[in-house]
Amino acid sequence: MTYIITIAQQKGGAGKTSLAAHLAATWSIDKGRRVALFDLDPQKSLTHWFQVRSEKLAEANTMSLWPSQGWRLANELTRASRDADVIVIDCPGKDDLGTRVAVRAADIVVMPVQPSPIDVWASKTTLELIAKEGTPALIVLNRLPSRAKLTDHLIVDLKRGSVPIARSALGNRISFAASFVEGKGITETEPHSVAAAEIKLLADEIWRKVSSAGRRAAA
Ligand SMILES: Nc1ncnc2c1ncn2[C@@H]1O[C@H](COP(=O)(O)OP(=O)(O)OP(=O)(O)O)[C@@H](O)[C@H]1O
Ligand SMILES: [Mg+2]
């Protein structure tokens, strides 16, 4: 059984690539799962992270990165699933053909949202795409301040929608970026940090959701 986790959000800079890398590292290192990555974003940030990782870890890097183009993605996912327990797809900051295929093929779409009005409003297009494809999804609050009235108000707005909000949120933590430049996940560089605890909780929450839902029929 291979689970496909698509990280999508048309708002740029929401935290898609960061989430993809840290979740992938957690599943690979902490859980020993075989992870395949797809980087659909022309910026190729996840690819860059993977290249640094491959150089630094050499054979110890057990993840694979797959080439991907929008129209060939469905076939490539089928091939990748033969040797992977989990496929993590990083989408670009716009809902293009590749994103649509990735949302359709996913067992779950994970959508990072930063708790600011601009980010919440800009999430609408991705939420509509998720609804259209009928894929289970989870909103992840990213860079969440510990206390803010604005945040509370925005969360109430988000909760009115049909996509549930993950119980595990991520704080605004510089250590996420620091481990990213080393080609690593936070659970590898600072395993006992608050940031690592947040990612582990989120990784477990997503895993519980997909494994309890079982594999969706291929689209
Ligand atoms: N929880 C966090 N705490 C601190 N910084 C964060 C956090 N999440 C993301 N960032 C930072 O925010 C910036 C944008 O994150 P990232 O590149 O992951 O977003 P993205 O959604 O992939 O962007 P794009 O749409 O351009 O692909 C990066 O500099 C990243 O290090
Ligand atoms: Mg990105």
pLDDT of residue 151: 61
Q: Could you state, in order of their start, the residue ranges of all structural domains in the chain?
A: 3-213
> By the 8 A CB rule, do 100 and 71 touch?
no
pTM: 0.95
In this structure, what are the phi and psi dihedrals at residue 105, rounded to the nearest 5 degrees? -80, -15
Percent of the chain at pLDDT above 70?
95
Q: Which of 143, 119, 151, 193 is nearest to 18 (CA)?
A: 143
For the domain 3-213, what is the CATH code? 3.40.50.300
Query: Is residue 173 lining ligand 1, measured as CB closer than 6 Å?
Result: yes
Q: Which of 11, 16, 18 to mutate to test the pocket of ligand 1 (most atoms within 8 A of CB)?
A: 18
pLDDT at 70: 74
**Looking at ligand 1, which atom is closest to the CA of residue 11?**
25
- pLDDT value, residue 148: 56
Ligand 1 lined by 49 (C-beta under 6 Å): no
Tokens representing 163 are 């996509």
The set of residues, in sequence order, having a beta carbon less than 8 Å from that of 46 and lying 6+ positions away, is 17, 20, 21, 37, 39, 65, 90
**Which atom of ligand 1 is found nearest the CA of 43?**
27
Give residues whose Cβ lies within 5 Å of ion ligand 2.
Answer: 16-17, 45
The amino acid at residue 46 is L
Residue 219 has what pLDDT? Answer: 40
Nearest-atom index, ligand 1, CA of 41: 27
CA of 62 to the centre of ligand 1 (A): 24
**How far, in Å, from the CA of 191 to the mean position of ligand 2?**
23
Q: Is 46 in the pocket of ligand 1 (CB under 6 A)?
A: no
DSSP the chain: --EEEEE--SSTTSSHHHHHHHHHHIIIIIT---EEEEE--TT-HHHHHHHHHHHHHGGG---EEE---GGGHHHHHHHHGGG-SEEEEEPPSS--HHHHHHHHH-SEEEEEE-SSHHHHHHTHHHHHHHHHHT--EEEEE-SB-SS-HHHHHHHHHHHTSSSPBPS---B--HHHHHHHHTT--HHHH-TTSHHHHHHHHHHHHHHHHHHHH-PPPP-
The pLDDT tens digits for 31-81 are 999 999 999 999 999 999 999 999 999 988 899 999 887 779 999 999 999
Confidence of residue 149 (pLDDT cuts 50, 70, 90): low
Distance 8 CA to ligand 1 centre (A): 13
Residue having the nearest C-alpha atom to atom 15 of ligand 1: 15
Backbone torsions φ then ψ of 214, nearest 5 degrees:
75, 170
